[in-house]
Amino acid sequence: MPLTSTGDIVGPARAEGRGVGAFNVVQMEHAEAIVAGAEHAALPVVLQISENTVRYHGSLVPIGLAALALARAASVPVAVHLDHAEARPLVREAVELGFTSVMFDASRLPYEENVAATRAVTAYCHRAGVWVEAELGEVGGKDGVHAPGTRTDPDEARAFAEATAVDALAVAVGNSHAMRTRDAVLDFGLVTRLRDSLDIPLVLHGSSGVCDADLVRAVAAGMTKVNISTHLNTLFTRTVRDRLEESPGVVDPRRYLGAAREAVAAEVARLLGVLAAR
């Protein structure tokens, strides 16, 4: 199947009240597992590569081209997305490689500087036909994320979206990155107010910390794109550890990485079903 635009996956899902799974790729096995899970579920998916992962590999090219190749060979719609990019040269590189979307994260900057930087990136990406996600509010670590000052304000979100012309907005509603427990407390009322204030899809970062029932509630309240990373990494690592403990003499990485890939594929298929439920 041809590479699919992120907008062509997220737009119809938003119109139909469905969620879209967006899963982070750290290495080749992750990308293979995510695509396999999507094919098993017969649902579209977004492969995400973060700036941190690019730094780990030393370059976007190897892991980016691998993800693009897997997306093009998939039997279901697969988009390839640059996640949490703070460096504009990396955005340009992703666009030139053929990524269908980027998430430009200038949320650390003061509001006016965030607007200016995001507007410039959006203008560049739109000229290339690339969909753009941004972030407003503080989706930080677990400590302090539930403080009222970290939440995204609906009026400010509407003004930000209009000023930057972004295609989707990641918002802070009690979610937190890198959670290893699924007990985040989301403000579903705020999600609905944000949905009603904006004409673009909402993105939930830090969804590893959200239980299945609350993922369903979040989508019903107005979330569309749902980012999950730590949850899958935890499963991947646990499976590798279990295999090595069971067979301490194994030296072929395919023996344990393959098992981890299968476990992640099964969980991706399950989560896509959870998010698509209406």
Confidence band of 141 (pLDDT split at 50, 70, 90): very low
Residue 143 has pLDDT above 50, yes or no: no
pLDDT band, residue 207 (cuts 50/70/90): confident
What CA–CA distance (Å, rounded) separates 17 from 20? 10
Residue 234 has pLDDT above 50, yes or no: yes
Q: What percent of the chain has pLDDT over 90?
A: 78
Q: Above 50 in pLDDT, residue 242?
A: yes
Contact 143, 95 (CB under 8 A): no
More confident of the two residues 125 and 147: 125
Q: How far apart are CA 228 and CA 212, in angstroms?
A: 12
Residue 49 maps to a domain:
yes
Residue 241 located in a structural domain: yes
pLDDT of residue 277: 82
Per-residue pLDDT, averaged over 258-276, amounts to 97
In the prediction, which pLDDT does 179 show?
A: 57
Is 1 inside a domain boundary?
no
83: annotated active-site residue: yes
**Domain containing 183 — which CATH number?**
3.20.20.70
Cα gap 115→166, rounded to integer Å? 10
- Given a cut of 60, whether residue 27 has pLDDT beyond it is yes
- Which of 8, 83, 167, 199 is catalytic? The answer is 83
pLDDT at 146 over 50: no
| pLDDT attached to residue 139 | 54
Q: What is the mean pLDDT of residues 210-237?
A: 93
Band of pLDDT at residue 272, cut at 50, 70 and 90: very high
In a domain, 255, yes or no: yes
Task: Look at residue 52 and tell me if it is in a domain.
Answer: yes
Closest CA to 263 of 74, 43, 30: 30
> How much is the pTM?
0.92
The percentage of the chain sitting over the pLDDT mark of 70, rounded to a whole number, equals 91
**Rounded mean pLDDT of the chain?**
91
Query: Is there a domain that residue 60 lies in?
Result: yes
Residues 221, 227, 229, 230, Cα dihedral to 10°: -30
| CA 218 to each of CA 16, 187, 192: distance values in angstroms, whole numbers, following the listed order | 14, 9, 9
Host domain of residue 14: 6-276
Selection from 141, 160, 207, 12 nearest residue 4 by Cα:
12
Overall number of domains in the chain? 1
pLDDT-derived band at 185 (thresholds 50, 70, 90) equals low
Q: Distance of CA 51 to CAs 39, 90, 164, 207, 270, Å?
A: 26, 8, 22, 18, 27
The pLDDT value recorded for residue 85 is: 94
Q: Give the residue, 182 or 247, on which the prediction is more confident.
A: 247
Strands 202-204 and 78-85: unpaired
Cα 154 to Cα 193: distance, rounded to the nearest angstrom: 7
Query: Of residues 98 and 213, which shows the higher confidence score?
Result: 98
